[in-house]
Amino acid sequence: MNYCKSKSYDTPQFHEKIMGPNPVKLTEELLQNHRIPDKAVVLDLGSGLGVTSVFLAKEYGFKVYAGDLWSDPAENQQFFESMGLSPEQLVAVKADAENLPFEKEFFDAVVCIDSYNYFGRSTTYLDEKLLPYVKRGGLLYLAFPGMKRDCHDQLPPELLLSWTPEQLIYLRDIIYWRSIFEAATGAELLSIGEMEGNEEAWEDWLASENEYAVNDRKTMRAGGGKYLNFIAAVLRKKP
């Protein structure tokens, strides 16, 4: 894939802030031919240090709320302002995905990159925890790491070089995720599939000296990547 929008974000400043396989490239692929309306109010859920939030605000013109539980919203807001974005364009919020601090039906859309698999595995999460904050007909664009085929009954030794079985439980296959999404009564699954940019996103991450990237190299250099993928899912809240 030719990442036209992502090229200008291939800088040390952005690479220092990524927390996994390149989230900017994953976002660009996820939002190809997207249906989110112009000037939409968008929740970047699990936004980390805010690189995807900057990307969404600058490249797509959305009014973005960067919601994350573990990062410092004050530091994120300083970063956003250093990128020339005002609080009218991009707002950092301390937000627990299980207890979102927003008004009901506030967002036109939700974008979630590389984190949905941590909190969205319950069949009730969408209906009870996330959809109430999305307008009727609103869209959800999700990209998260997964497995090409679930192998939790016999985990390959390559995967265990970097991660414990408890950490790997967050990685499941498309069949698993389809069943989770189709269990939601308040949303319809528009599409789900494997992402094209998995390998390139991983290469960008493994090239960094982040301690977690260094640990992940053990599995990927042993060939463990053949078991993994990134999954893209698009859902719409029912009218």
Whether 51 maps to a domain, the answer reads yes
Instruction: Return the pLDDT at 50.
Output: 98
Whether 217 maps to a domain, the answer reads yes
**DSSP label of 85:** -
Q: Which domain holds residue 189?
A: 6-237
Cβ atoms of residues 140 and 112 within 8 Å: yes
Pairing, β 63-68 against β 228-237: unpaired
CA proximity to 196, closest of 67, 53, 10, 26: 26
- Over range 39-49, report the average pLDDT: 98
Query: How many whole angstroms from its chain centre is CA 80?
Result: 19
- Measured between alpha carbons, how far is 150 from 144 in angstroms, rounded to an integer? 15
What is the pLDDT of the chain when averaged over all its residues? 98
Which run of H or of E encompasses 25? Answer: helix 23-30
Sorting pLDDT into bands at 50, 70 and 90, what band is 65? very high
Whether 174 maps to a domain, the answer reads yes
Q: What CATH number should be reported for the domain holding residue 202?
A: 3.40.50.150
pLDDT tens for residues 111-123?
Answer: 999 999 999 999 9
Whether 45 maps to a domain, the answer reads yes
pLDDT tens for residues 168-210?
Answer: 999 999 999 999 999 999 999 999 999 999 999 999 999 999 9
Say what the pTM is: 0.98
Whether 1 maps to a domain, the answer reads no
Whether 78 maps to a domain, the answer reads yes
> What is the total count of domains within the chain?
1
Radius of gyration of the chain (CA): 17
